[in-house]
Amino acid sequence: MKTLGLYIHIPFCKAKCGYCDFNSYAGKESYIESYFSALLRELEIMSEKFHAKVDTIYFGGGTPTFVDTWYLCNVLGKVKELFEQCSNCEISVECNPGTIGYEGLKKLRDAGFNRISIGLQSADNGCLKELGRIHSFEDFSLCFENARRAGFENISLDLMYGLPNQGMEEWKSTIEKAVEFGTEHISCYSLKIEEGTPFAKKELILPDEDTVADMYEWAVDYLGERGYDRYEISNFSKHGKESLHNLKYWLCNDFLGLGAGAFSCVEDVRFSNTATLEKYIEDIEKYGDARETEEKLSEFDKMSEFVFLGLRLKEGISEKEFEKRFNLNIDKIFGKQLEKYTNMGFFIREGGKIRFSDKGFFVSNTILSDFV
């Protein structure tokens, strides 16, 4: 039986952050009950369409822990009822400090959630205020301690750099404090100003590109010295604590997304649900399907994704695996780009593998766009 990753989208938030362009809604609490009813219905329908063994389950948002934990536990219970699970299934939930206490975290752990991702973003309260976050560093500290006490042995922290009025010292302090907590996994994301967000309408004082690059480089060195392996461009983990769900995306494995705006890619077909909260609920109730887009991936699409997603990983891509999947030598399709960046010292080709060099990682976004 084939394996599948499940992504379950919980779009509710207490407040929308100034930089956020995710499909999330504040002030829509009146839809919570009908949304989860629709989500359970979609789960039933999709379980009949896709017979697979589930090896990762990820509850993302939005802020999943903004809603009562009963809803999350109920959905997870339905997943377990409808889908066969692998014995080592990774079950993750995103959490924002200040939205859940010890009792709620204990309920999640007892229900089977075994990994939690906490949105710290910064240990500096001034930076948190600039971002529009609802929590303080002290709120995060309590949340982390409660998660540990509730039995979570696999905790990930989301951190951001390149923030308004953030200097190198604030960034260093955030990384150092994250490490002091003994978290198993750290994600470091550079702030991107997305069109349509409140930040896009402001005149922000941001660090220059060189400072942002220095922030990333310092984090890579500091975390590496303390046992956190950079297994992907933005992700660092202790041994054996990589995000198995996110690895599915980078390795082009099948995943099924449920909920408003959720994306899926199963058997080379990519599809997505309507992002509008009200329309998602209505479509599921009326038609049992909220699909808005669907496309069959072309051979070039599949080859391109194999390369530009796989190259995000420290181990890179296997030339043998490329040939096995597509019955073509990788140089016939991407030979020019590979030769160019290898000669420039950005790629290392050895042992049948292609991967970024250390200096290549620092300009990876520019290089990867050449393979799309």
* Closest to 289 (Cα-Cα) out of 305, 307, 274, 303: 274
pLDDT of residue 278: 98
User: What pLDDT is recorded for position 78?
Assistant: 98
Residue 18: its pLDDT value, please? 81
pLDDT at res. 178: 98
For the beta carbon of residue 41, count every other beta carbon within 10 angstroms: 15
Nearest to 60 by CA among 27, 2, 127, 12: 12
C-alpha R_g of the chain: 21
Contacts of 194 (CB under 8 A, 6+ apart): 19, 21, 200
292 exposure class (CB count in 10 Å sphere: 0-12, 13-18, 19+)? middle
DSSP characters for 205-244?
Answer: ----HHHHHHHHHHHHHHHHHTT-EEEETTEEESTT-S-H
For residue 108, give both structure tokens: 């999640």
User: How large is the average pLDDT for residues 227-249?
Assistant: 98
Q: Looking at the predicted structure, is the pLDDT value of residue 1 above 80?
A: no
Looking at residues 294-305, what average pLDDT do you find? 98
Q: What's the confidence (pLDDT) of residue 218? A: 98
Q: Would you state the pLDDT for residue 20?
A: 84
Per-residue pLDDT, averaged over 41-66, amounts to: 97
- As a whole number, mean pLDDT of residues 316-333 equals 98
Please give the span between the terminal C-alpha atoms of the chain, in angstroms, as a whole number.
32
Q: How confident is the model at residue 22 (pLDDT cuts 50, 70, 90)?
A: confident
User: What pLDDT score was predicted for residue 44?
Assistant: 98
More confident site: 349 or 17? 349
Amino acid at 10: I
The encoded tokens of residue 312 equal 């995000």
**What residues have CB less than 8 Å from 365, skipping those under 6 apart?**
none
- The tens digit of pLDDT for each residue in 86-107 reads 999 999 999 999 999 999 999 9
Domains of the chain: 3-250 (3.20.20.70), 299-371 (1.10.10.920)
Are 127 and 136 spatial neighbours (Cβ–Cβ below 8 Å)?
A: no
Tokens of 25: 């809604």
What value does the mean pLDDT take over residues 240-246? 98
* Spatial CA neighbour of 4 closest among 307, 271, 248, 275: 248
**C-beta separation of 329 from 323 below 8 A:** yes
Could you tell me the two tokens for 337? 């780009």
pLDDT tens for residues 160-210? Answer: 999 998 999 999 999 999 999 999 999 999 999 888 888 888 888 899 999
On the CB side of 276, CA atoms within 13 Å amount to 5
pLDDT on residue 116: 99
In this prediction, residue 102 carries a pLDDT of 99
How many other C-beta atoms lie within 10 A of the C-beta of residue 16?
17
The mean predicted confidence, pLDDT, of the chain is 96
What is the pLDDT at residue 300?
97
Mean pLDDT of 33-51: 97
**For residues 141-148, average pLDDT:** 99
Q: Tell me which amino acid residue 44 is.
A: E
